[in-house]
Amino acid sequence: MIIQQREQGRRTLLSAIRRIGSVARIDLASETDISRATVTTITAELLRDGLIEEIPRDTADGDARRGRPRVDLKIRGAAHLIAGAKIGDSTLSLVLLDFEGVQLAELETDLAHQVWEADTLADCLLHNLQQLASKADITYDQISGVGVGIAGIVDAPSGVVYWSPSLKERNIEFCDILKKRLNIPAFLDNDANLVAVAEQSFGEGRDVSDFIVVTIESGVGMGIVIGGKLYRGTRGCGAEFGHTKVQLDGALCRCGQRGCLEAYVADYALLREASVIATDDRTTRTEERIKQLLDAARDGDETASNIINRAGRMFAMGLANLVNIFDPQLIILAGERMQADHLYAEGVLESIRSSIVQIDKSPPEIVIHKWGSLMWAKGAAAYALAGVAEIALLDMNEHAE
Amino acid sequence: MIIQQREQGRRTLLSAIRRIGSVARIDLASETDISRATVTTITAELLRDGLIEEIPRDTADGDARRGRPRVDLKIRGAAHLIAGAKIGDSTLSLVLLDFEGVQLAELETDLAHQVWEADTLADCLLHNLQQLASKADITYDQISGVGVGIAGIVDAPSGVVYWSPSLKERNIEFCDILKKRLNIPAFLDNDANLVAVAEQSFGEGRDVSDFIVVTIESGVGMGIVIGGKLYRGTRGCGAEFGHTKVQLDGALCRCGQRGCLEAYVADYALLREASVIATDDRTTRTEERIKQLLDAARDGDETASNIINRAGRMFAMGLANLVNIFDPQLIILAGERMQADHLYAEGVLESIRSSIVQIDKSPPEIVIHKWGSLMWAKGAAAYALAGVAEIALLDMNEHAE
DNA sequence: TGATTTTAATTCGAAAATCAAATTAAATAA
DNA sequence: TTATTTAATTTGATTTTCGAATTAAAATCA
């Protein structure tokens, strides 16, 4: 019942160590404004519980300073194993990280279905997590927690999936199902949010407190980080960038509404228009058709250029609106597919800059960050990692001696 | 140098008392999870410093409970006097509040200019604050702080006005100028942000942690509250709802860009279109012309209806985008002018609801909150009030005995 | 090589803050 | 008037943090 005040200090120090990477006690003290005495006390507890470890002095260092040498502390990777999963259209991506965030194993498999019963999907996930474990030479029950990213509308705090292209039913308490089936702590969120977590943990957002991540996959997703925290909206359906309207009574979107950004920039939107071009062969598969369209545009085909350009301008408009509303420090355009290249072209970025409210201060930075499909899974793992760290800290209150 | 931990408790209790209004110590304890012993200790300090006061038992109460009666605590209004000012196009609105938020006096005067030198404006403000003081039978130096709201792009933390329709120059450190000239703590912010503060303190946002306020004056403004805190963006130019784009290469806006929401819904935008109607008399003044346009639309004039309807649909589109991005609990459409009525019509609200991402959960509430011009000033005062309370709490650390 | 200097980390005693339990205060009910 | 009930305060113990003193571990100097 007693509120452990010590908890505060432990949290501050553990996250400072994670943020800095490897740091001596005396620097921790100045960094966190906690006295050296208390830093010693608290880090001793964290060491005892195995959450951090001392780094053996680097003998061959040239720093030749007088006095007692600093002893660096870092997160102890072996403290916990964390898995992350991204449930995609047709593939399942998995990674295994240690408590330090180091990747120990990865796994990518084709999925049997695109749309699943919740229970079956949980079974599939369990099976592949076990595969992942054996690939990393550990047993499944050594995994302390798993993060799962799924497309759709997810209320992370309650673990409810209101809708997902991967699930047959709506309004599923999918996180509960996962926890029961997987038998370990599970953390579920929208996949775009997890990209934001990935960028915050491993990517471009490491030292930025307010940023926005935009992802382009089959749809357009967004994650918002405000004050160093993921902002999820109150019902779990915020950050629906792809369904912001860029044209009154505009093009028809998959969601049934008109004028959504997605209805101008997504694959299916481009192909809908491409179908009027004579050379477009509607029997080839999506990716190939997109490639042909882009090639045609690059080769100067007017109609193709027109299609691509409009997509770019719509995208720029939507993004400029985000800037005008949020005024973030940084915008990360993240993606794994080359298809998004035309949206990340310099002309588009310039168009964004010219559409935001102008003041005598440099505009937000826009960076393009390309990565493979595993980044989604790594974001999921990073999300779980935070959850597991939280559990570990709370545990320390219980068995304090 | 010692970090006073007590400060945390004082802050928690003071804000709990402010939030609840009048509350017994035992309820404070359960509300804040601070023990009864500590509540007694801390409230004794707050009483000693005059920030709160005990409410004399209501003798004629029918609550006839056994036992020692509760003694309610409340904020002590007399602790501080706070002024708030809104610098408008042509008028200056001032209010004087006590520390409890009770209004003691108000003042509204015509301004000599629309566009000012910063120093002259500060002089004008000083003069009128002195008038306000005398109106309330107090001396100017009894005022503990003043909040000032100004239209334009303001970076509140630094006190810099990047641009304002009320100031001749750009990039003015206006808050510093105010502090020096007024000789009391001054707090400056964008006027739309202060409406958000007003709603949070006195209005519809009192018990809501995530909401958006949209205001329509001559331009379109917005304030964002996330997690109970005003979100200002990183450079101070976020929340520029009026300059979000609703049409690619659309109507020309005052800001020089095209397709801004403001260019469709502001007075000048409506009149630009109205000028093509035969009956429109361009020599009459703005307000009268707007009224005639709205009347014509109501009487079935097709062109007039068309103008008004488009404005409403654009407004709905912009607002739906806000919902899709933020997913707030509540949207407050705030305004003092009847002119905005057509934008707050049921048809427009319905259009918003149908343009947001649909899930099996009720959509965010939209409320319309009309108020007089003083609400702006009250918001400014509420902002200053928080600042003064903060100063008072920090002071307690200094002269602790 | 051994003493000195320098810097980091730890230990120790004091001060501060919080809490549970005991006590006191102030009312109603019997 | 006395017992009962509930709120608020006081008390003593515990926890937590800190500054200062001490110890530890290195480089430098004599």
List chain A residues with CB under 8 Å of B321.
244-245, 321
d(CA A95, CA A83): 6
- Structural element, H or E, at residue A211: strand A211-216
| pLDDT value at residue A357 | 81
Could you tell me which residues are beta bridge partners of residue B68? none
pLDDT tens, residue by residue, A264-287: 998 889 989 888 887 777 788 877
* pLDDT reading at B2 higher than 50: no
Does the C-beta of B30 come within 7 A of strand C?
Answer: no
Does the C-beta of A37 come within 7 A of strand C?
Answer: yes
Please state the rounded mean pLDDT for residues B269-276: 87
pLDDT tens, residue by residue, A296-321: 888 988 999 999 999 999 999 999 99
| pLDDT value at residue A401 | 44
Nearest to B248 among A5, A313, A327 (CB): A313
CB atoms within 10 A of CB A337: 15
pLDDT tens, residue by residue, A216-229: 877 788 999 999 99
pLDDT tens, residue by residue, B191-235: 889 999 999 999 999 989 999 999 887 778 899 999 999 999 888
* pLDDT reading at B38 higher than 90: yes
Q: Give me the percent of chain A exceeding a pLDDT of 70.
A: 96
Contact A248 B360 (CB under 8 A): no
Question: Residue B200: which residues within 8 A CB-CB, separation 6 or more?
Answer: B206, B211, B225, B228, B230, B382
pLDDT tens, residue by residue, B303-319: 999 999 999 999 999 99
User: pLDDT tier at A337 (50, 70, 90 boundaries)?
Assistant: low
| Å between B112 CA and nearest CA of chain A | 27
pLDDT tens, residue by residue, A131-184: 999 999 999 999 999 999 999 889 999 999 998 999 999 999 999 999 999 999
Question: Residue A252: which residues within 8 A CB-CB, separation 6 or more?
Answer: A258, A263
d(CA A59, CA A228): 37
Q: Give me the percent of chain B exceeding a pLDDT of 70.
A: 96
List chain A residues with CB under 8 Å of B255.
357-358
* pLDDT reading at B60 higher than 70: no
Cα nearest neighbour of B164 on chain A: A359
Q: Which has the closest alpha carbon to A248: B339, B351, B262?
A: B351
Q: Give me the percent of chain A exceeding a pLDDT of 90.
A: 66
d(CA A352, CA A316): 5
| pLDDT value at residue A58 | 60
| Å between B237 CA and nearest CA of chain A | 6
Does the C-beta of A36 come within 7 A of strand C?
Answer: yes
d(CA A187, CA A145): 8
Please state the rounded mean pLDDT for residues B360-367: 86
d(CA B124, CA B110): 11
pLDDT tens, residue by residue, A61-86: 556 788 888 999 999 999 999 999 99
pLDDT tens, residue by residue, A235-264: 877 778 999 999 999 999 988 899 999 999
Does the C-beta of B9 come within 7 A of strand C?
Answer: yes
Nearest to B171 among A239, A259, A360 (CB): A360
